[in-house]
Structure 1
Amino acid sequence: MSVKDSVTKLSGVGAKRAENLATLGIERVEDLLEHYPFRYEDIQERKIAEIQDQEKVTIKGLVVSPAVMSRFGYKKTRLQFRMMQDHDVFAVSFFNQPYLKDKVEVSTEIAVYGKWDAKRKSLTGMKILAPKQEEDFAPIYRVNKAVRQASLVQLIKQAFDGYYDQIEENLPLSLLEKYRLMPRKEAMYSMHFPKNIEEHHQAKRRVVFEEFFLFQMQIQGLKQQQRAESNGLAIAYDVAALKAFTQQLPFELTTAQKRVTNEICRDLRSQKHMQRLLQGDVGSGKTVVAAIALYATMTAGFQGALMVPTEILAQQHMESLVQLFEGFDVNVALLTGSTKTKERREILSQLASGAIHVLVGTHALIQADVEFSHLGLVITDEQHRFGVNQRKILREKGWRPDVLFMTATPIPRTLAITAYGEMDVSIIDELPSGRIPIETRWVRPPQMPQVLKGSLTQLQKGHQMYVICPLIEESEMLDVQNAVAIYEELQDFYGSDYKVSLLHGKMKNQEKEAIMEAFKQNESQILVSTTVIEVGVNVPNATMMLIIDADRFGLAQLHQLRGRVGRGAVASSCILIANPKNETGQKRMQIMTETTNGFVVSEKDLELRGPGEVFGSRQSGLPEFAMADLVADGHILEVARQEAAAIWQQVGWEVLPDFAPLVTYLKTIQQEKPFFD
């Protein structure tokens, strides 16, 4: 008997029910025990005098009128009766639960859980509770059509009855005592059935620590492994040649750029295998840092690869590098899905012979027939857009090449520790001098005509403008229609004075590139786009951006979009046109108008939406924690990291008796639920 047993070992769970439970990710008894409630209803009985308006509460009282059921709308019902608590009489209504009529008898006492309306002195009922309610909290689980709350609770109770003694501890006793953590089996039970708020708090504290700690044990283990296998490439670049290259750059590097360049160059020269994350806000100059690293690699006789998520961005990087390497003997090539067969064959041949020094491209770089002669450095830009495996394939194109990950989506420290804990982190935390902050304003849709009139001032000065339409993921067709409608509206507004062009996801890559090129050359002045104007797109003459239905975008995405303007020496503006339906939407618009700092925006985005949504859990390599919250529980994450690091620094800790349960558990989860591909 073990918690690894199939749920079919529980009574009442046959093949069909097991199939239904599997839709919730529940296949074993252990999954059932760890399927924690996402919230709890406070079902303590309350007195009417103490209840706040719109509060969800349990009220116990005497039924003083018969239950009357009425029908309205299509298959809708309302069940109404009156109750009395002490001398207070109040109305109770249940919607679409006609079967409750039999449970309501005049002169009997019942307890109803629902939402209190103080003005009407009425309760909108959600459920009638069982007469003897032992706990004050009712767990609420994530369920679906196939599995109901009540049957799930019954199964969880049955699992605890039969398997409670089989739940094994997985944390060292020393940590349990140090942080006064509940034993594992008690914490798991109390997560489902807490007697009071304090017990729930202690149970959750234990579970959150456990999740973070087990993950950090794996992260720190990975770090140790990398140190042990530190015999990477020592790229002994030509210092004099690199100095000559940086000195001819048309601008002075910022202090932050110099600092991170030194960190990267130190890693290149050392025998240690580089795994570095380079973070920098929009426009902070990461491309120049990448160019310096690629040039250094080339002077040592190695090749470099730069992988980016889209063709437009690959083209952009290619142009930037060719410009930066002008006058230096660096052969840069571009490989994307659109590269013609003959040209592709030529590129692959030159790459294999070592004639190409730097290869820029999209996913096309990781195809089987792409072979490097001597790959020394791999750079992935906007790396959270690539899956862990895609990054791994590119790394394996050479013998342990140094790896630099770049992102313009600044990641708060807690998240960087968690998602990229095995890497060193470099941060460009200042913008090049002369950059004028972008003015951001939020207006409601009815103000759009005034905004368009205001745009004429910029256009008359010879500047350009982006107009971004919302991305409605469910329907690409809807995106296109939406953009086409706005495109036509703007054509009517600007007439023959200014050219409006349209870019959307349904277009072929060559068509998209032609439209972008025309916009860069100022052949069109207004660019309407549904697809995100990618990170890195650089048109210094564009000084204005309108984002329509801005509340449909995430904060980090809005910040990226905003970074497409303000790239020249002229003051630029970004206007958010949105009518958010709730308080969170309004908060997001306010944040965008209050700060242009990407790190602040990123922190706020995490607080409002959570890391999974911001980065896409599966893509970024983030683990899916059941209870732990990277933002709210950041302090616990830091403690867990310190403790895990301290354990890995103890020589031979794996054989100490205190760590035996931990070692066993780590081996099991590494086999069954690895956090890393």
Structure 2
Amino acid sequence: MKSLQDPVTTLKGVGQKRAEQLATLGIETIEDLLMHYPSRYDDFAPTNLETTVDKQKVTIHGTVVSEPVLSRFGYRKNRLSFRLQTGQQVVMVVFFNQPYFKERLTLNGDVTVLGTWNQGRQQVIGSKLLVVNPGEETIGTIYPANKHVRQTTIRQLIELAYTQYRNVIATLLPLKIRQRYQLLDRATMFQWVHFPKTSDQARQARRTAAYEEFYLFQLRLQSMRLARRKADGTQLLYNNDELRAFIRTIPFELTKAQKRVVNEICRDLRSPFQMNRLLQGDVGSGKTIVAAIAIYTTILTGYQAALMAPTEILAAQHAEKLAKVFENTPVNVALLTGSLTAKQHQALADQIAAGQCNLIIGTHALIQDQVEFANLGLAIIDEQHRFGVDQRKLLREKGDHPNILAMTATPIPRTLSITAYGEMDVSVIDELPAGRKTIKTTWLKSDQSEAALDFLRKQLAQGAQVYVVSPLIEESEKLDVQNATALYEQFADRFAPKYQVGLLHGRMTNDEKEAVMADFQAGKIQVLVATTVIEVGVDNPNATVMVIYDADRFGLAQLHQLRGRVGRGVRQSYCLLVADPKTPEGKKRMETMVETTDGFIVAQRDLELRGSGDVLGKKQSGMPDFKIGDPVGDLKMMQYARQDALDLLEQPGWDQRDENQPLVLYLRSQNLKTHFD
């Protein structure tokens, strides 16, 4: 029996080689082919030549009224010309170097020509020729293609697949939903999205396809969430008085936002279900102390806690900070990183397995097979977007369903978090600690860089330390940008020997990086020239000035992260953006950075300027590459799809009803983990 899950090789003309070529576009099954949606449409509605100006793009329908003439000139050059009657007007049409069009032309035959109007010669310089019958399709489809598979091949195969499989296309969306939003059945959706007769048909089909895509995505997320809430987790029945006593030892008052988030986390830890919570907080909002309270809560009940950080520098900083926080408590901190010798690593792994360490901080070394925990109760993933989906999954699988707390200092607009992290509960610290000074941000053009250097000199004289950030390590012929090595030399010439200048970039070894960072934090280096290796995990309260060269080369989220490396002490801090943006988007990024230091506003602007894929990092977040839906532009639709998916999943026995069987079969065929499997 035919199925949309049949491989594309079932189509005539698709052998192994063609199948491999289609796979480069993500097309392996008939359904993949039908869901390879057009990236855009050409509307072939005819142009009124009487109102057309010179060099305007035009579309004309008409009848061929002269024999096509093909003439050759020069080396491998040719000219195809014929007269076309369109309405009461006859115009000359000329195609250059497209001799194959002659075979499509017959005297008195009807054609559509796309081209450019030459006002002086009253002729059309053609670019595309379509042979259509009156009243036939007037919308052209343009598909995502590559060097392996051409547009025409994709179009032909989609037509063949639709013709052969149209009778087995089952509609996935429940009838009530289709009626509520006036959506199409699936067979009509595929027909109109690929072969529309009008732009309205194409619009309706794309609207249905986008909703279907969001609905299936949200069914997956919400079923994972429901499954987690039904699954057994590690329940931590801690002593509340002991926890309160620990919180009283913290030398500052928690903000209202921190208290709210601590309560949300502790409520999860006491429940019998596995916690899966995302903690969002801007740079400097106090996520670490919240994590410390969650760790202490875990250790009070006799369980271990693990904290995974993306870099050794950040892991070491966490270990140092938390060791101070947990002084005179039963917390034993261990640091597990890749730079340990094999002997040290094994000795520490043995202690972890024996339960002798109850707080283990490390890099991805934590998720290696040979690292086994005695009784892991809480796993924290810091800067979680820096880890791949598989790495995060490996940490979740350590121990027996440990509670998961993921942290990110990259604020994601609240509205979008339902898309990126829909299977997680989200806590937001949306308040900075009292007394924290706003970082003063200034945008300078490159011809004002002398003023920036004068400002740095004054700040250094007052005992400040400075970050100087460059987008590249070494010169690139393609990009006219400052680079770290050249900047280092410039700053060394300007400021040495009075001030020590250091260099930090990603190609240095871990030992070299850590030596430079240690010198900077000890005050031996006053000016640190670096690439974005400092974006995450450098904490020096004495560094109060950040200069970012070619700032328009960075995304808003990254600029905000970099700026967050200063302003961590009591002194006023500054961020200088040196940039000559050439595009309106580049100028808007600079203006946003000057206008606000609120990470959520920055994130929302970044979303508007760049789209969700870039903001979230699809590969890192597990965010799907939506084929047709735009989670930013179609956000309301995504929110409706989320609620509709929840409504369905919470209905008892929904998956046993006949009308939902196509959807149930589809979810299982896609190997999506659902709570009813």
Quick check: TM above 0.5? yes
Distance in 1, matches of 2:521 and 2:76, equals 58
Distance in 1, matches of 2:396 and 2:661, equals 35
Question: 2:392: which partner in 1?
Answer: 391
Distance in 1, matches of 2:90 and 2:65, equals 9
| SS of corresponding position for 1:376 | strand
Distance in 2, matches of 1:669 and 1:416, equals 24
Distance in 2, matches of 1:397 and 1:206, equals 41
Measured after TM superposition, the shift of residue 370 of structure 1 is 1.3
Distance in 2, matches of 1:506 and 1:491, equals 20
User: Are the counterparts in 1 of residues 472 and 484 from structure 2 also a CA contact under 8 Å?
Assistant: no
Gaps spanning 5+ residues in structure 1: where? none
| SS of corresponding position for 2:483 | helix
Distance in 1, matches of 2:103 and 2:14, equals 29
| SS of corresponding position for 1:241 | helix
Measured after TM superposition, the shift of residue 361 of structure 1 is 0.5
Question: Relative to 1, partners in 2 of residues 1:76 and 1:254: Cα closer, same or farther, differing over 3 Å?
Answer: farther
Question: 2:165: which partner in 1?
Answer: 163
Q: Does 1:564 align with 2:565?
A: yes
Question: 1:447: which partner in 2?
Answer: 448
* Structure 2 counterpart of 1:189, one-letter code: Q
- The worse-fitting range, judged by mean Cα deviation, of 435-444 and 310-319 is 435-444
User: Are the counterparts in 2 of residues 42 and 138 from structure 1 also a CA contact under 8 Å?
Assistant: yes
* Structure 2 counterpart of 1:626, one-letter code: K
User: In structure 1, which of residues 178, 181, 187 is the aligned counterpart of residue 180 of structure 2?
Assistant: 178
- The worse-fitting range, judged by mean Cα deviation, of 520-529 and 346-355 is 346-355
Distance in 2, matches of 1:531 and 1:442, equals 19
| SS of corresponding position for 1:532 | helix
Question: Relative to 1, partners in 2 of residues 1:174 and 1:360: Cα closer, same or farther, differing over 3 Å?
Answer: same
Distance in 2, matches of 1:417 and 1:607, equals 17
Q: Does 1:590 align with 2:596?
A: no
| SS of corresponding position for 2:433 | coil
Q: Does 1:13 align with 2:14?
A: yes
Q: Does 1:255 align with 2:230?
A: no
User: Are the counterparts in 2 of residues 171 and 210 from structure 1 also a CA contact under 8 Å?
Assistant: yes
Measured after TM superposition, the shift of residue 56 of structure 1 is 4.7
Distance in 1, matches of 2:470 and 2:508, equals 16
Query: Could you list the per-position Cα deviations for residues 68-106 of structure 1 after superposition, in whole angstroms to 9, with x for gaps in the alignment?
Result: 8887xxx99797989998899999887875766998999
Measured after TM superposition, the shift of residue 430 of structure 1 is 0.8
User: Are the counterparts in 2 of residues 172 and 661 from structure 1 also a CA contact under 8 Å?
Assistant: no
Give the alignment of 1:147-296 within 5 angstroms. Answer: 147-229=149-231, 231-296=232-297
Question: 1:638: which partner in 2?
Answer: 639
Query: Could you list the per-position Cα deviations for residues 627-669 of structure 1 after superposition, in whole angstroms to 9, with x for gaps in the alignment?
Result: 1111111111111111111112111111122212211211112
Q: Does 1:301 align with 2:315?
A: no
User: Are the counterparts in 2 of residues 312 and 534 from structure 1 also a CA contact under 8 Å?
Assistant: no
Question: Relative to 1, partners in 2 of residues 1:472 and 1:170: Cα closer, same or farther, differing over 3 Å?
Answer: farther
Distance in 2, matches of 1:95 and 1:434, equals 71
Measured after TM superposition, the shift of residue 12 of structure 1 is 2.9
| SS of corresponding position for 2:374 | coil
- The worse-fitting range, judged by mean Cα deviation, of 203-212 and 125-134 is 125-134
| SS of corresponding position for 2:671 | helix
Question: 1:617: which partner in 2?
Answer: 618
User: Are the counterparts in 2 of residues 472 and 479 from structure 1 also a CA contact under 8 Å?
Assistant: no
Give the alignment of 1:130-141 within 5 angstroms. Answer: 130=131, 132=133, 134-141=136-143
Distance in 2, matches of 1:360 and 1:266, equals 24
Question: 2:407: which partner in 1?
Answer: 406
Question: Relative to 1, partners in 2 of residues 1:9 and 1:492: Cα closer, same or farther, differing over 3 Å?
Answer: same
| SS of corresponding position for 1:628 | coil
* Structure 2 counterpart of 1:40, one-letter code: Y
Give the alignment of 1:278-677 within 5 angstroms. Answer: 278-471=279-472, 482-670=483-671
* Structure 1 counterpart of 2:153, one-letter code: S
| SS of corresponding position for 1:291 | helix
User: Are the counterparts in 1 of residues 438 and 597 from structure 2 also a CA contact under 8 Å?
Assistant: yes
- The worse-fitting range, judged by mean Cα deviation, of 340-349 and 491-500 is 340-349
Measured after TM superposition, the shift of residue 328 of structure 1 is 3.0
Distance in 2, matches of 1:285 and 1:53, equals 62
- The worse-fitting range, judged by mean Cα deviation, of 419-428 and 591-600 is 591-600
Distance in 1, matches of 2:94 and 2:261, equals 64
Distance in 2, matches of 1:53 and 1:551, equals 37
* Structure 2 counterpart of 1:353, one-letter code: A
- The worse-fitting range, judged by mean Cα deviation, of 101-110 and 341-350 is 101-110
Question: Relative to 1, partners in 2 of residues 1:277 and 1:463: Cα closer, same or farther, differing over 3 Å?
Answer: same
Distance in 2, matches of 1:569 and 1:596, equals 17
Question: Relative to 1, partners in 2 of residues 1:473 and 1:282: Cα closer, same or farther, differing over 3 Å?
Answer: farther
Query: Could you list the per-position Cα deviations for residues 113-167 of structure 1 after superposition, in whole angstroms to 9, with x for gaps in the alignment?
Result: 2467999999775423335472222111111112111222122222222222221
| SS of corresponding position for 2:534 | coil
Question: Relative to 1, partners in 2 of residues 1:88 and 1:311: Cα closer, same or farther, differing over 3 Å?
Answer: farther
* Structure 2 counterpart of 1:151, one-letter code: T
Q: Give % identity.
A: 52
User: Are the counterparts in 1 of residues 349 and 371 from structure 2 also a CA contact under 8 Å?
Assistant: yes
Distance in 2, matches of 1:416 and 1:80, equals 56
| SS of corresponding position for 1:410 | coil
Distance in 1, matches of 2:504 and 2:478, equals 13
Distance in 2, matches of 1:83 and 1:669, equals 54
| SS of corresponding position for 1:58 | strand
Question: Relative to 1, partners in 2 of residues 1:41 and 1:321: Cα closer, same or farther, differing over 3 Å?
Answer: same
Scaled by the length of structure 1, the TM-score of the pair is 0.90
Question: Relative to 1, partners in 2 of residues 1:271 and 1:152: Cα closer, same or farther, differing over 3 Å?
Answer: closer
Distance in 2, matches of 1:556 and 1:116, equals 45
Question: Relative to 1, partners in 2 of residues 1:56 and 1:226: Cα closer, same or farther, differing over 3 Å?
Answer: farther
Measured after TM superposition, the shift of residue 364 of structure 1 is 0.4
Measured after TM superposition, the shift of residue 411 of structure 1 is 1.7
Distance in 1, matches of 2:351 and 2:244, equals 28
Question: Relative to 1, partners in 2 of residues 1:102 and 1:282: Cα closer, same or farther, differing over 3 Å?
Answer: same
User: Are the counterparts in 1 of residues 474 and 485 from structure 2 also a CA contact under 8 Å?
Assistant: no
Gaps spanning 5+ residues in structure 2: where? none
Distance in 2, matches of 1:352 and 1:57, equals 73
Distance in 1, matches of 2:315 and 2:240, equals 28
Aligned positions, number: 670
Question: Relative to 1, partners in 2 of residues 1:175 and 1:381: Cα closer, same or farther, differing over 3 Å?
Answer: same
Distance in 2, matches of 1:385 and 1:53, equals 52
Question: Relative to 1, partners in 2 of residues 1:267 and 1:474: Cα closer, same or farther, differing over 3 Å?
Answer: farther
- The worse-fitting range, judged by mean Cα deviation, of 654-663 and 517-526 is 654-663
Measured after TM superposition, the shift of residue 340 of structure 1 is 2.8
| SS of corresponding position for 2:140 | strand
Distance in 2, matches of 1:594 and 1:87, equals 59
Give the alignment of 1:83-162 within 5 angstroms. Answer: 111-114=112-115, 125-130=126-131, 132=133, 134-162=136-164
User: Are the counterparts in 2 of residues 190 and 200 from structure 1 also a CA contact under 8 Å?
Assistant: yes
Distance in 2, matches of 1:254 and 1:633, equals 35
Distance in 1, matches of 2:111 and 2:478, equals 53
User: Are the counterparts in 2 of residues 66 and 104 from structure 1 also a CA contact under 8 Å?
Assistant: no
Distance in 1, matches of 2:323 and 2:357, equals 13
User: Are the counterparts in 1 of residues 379 and 396 from structure 2 also a CA contact under 8 Å?
Assistant: yes
Query: Could you list the per-position Cα deviations for residues 419-454 of structure 1 after superposition, in whole angstroms to 9, with x for gaps in the alignment?
Result: 322221110011111222222233333332332222
User: Are the counterparts in 1 of residues 110 and 131 from structure 2 also a CA contact under 8 Å?
Assistant: no
* Structure 1 counterpart of 2:320, one-letter code: E
* Structure 1 counterpart of 2:191, one-letter code: Y
* Structure 2 counterpart of 1:143, one-letter code: A
Query: Could you list the per-position Cα deviations for residues 257-280 of structure 1 after superposition, in whole angstroms to 9, with x for gaps in the alignment?
Result: 011011111212222221111111
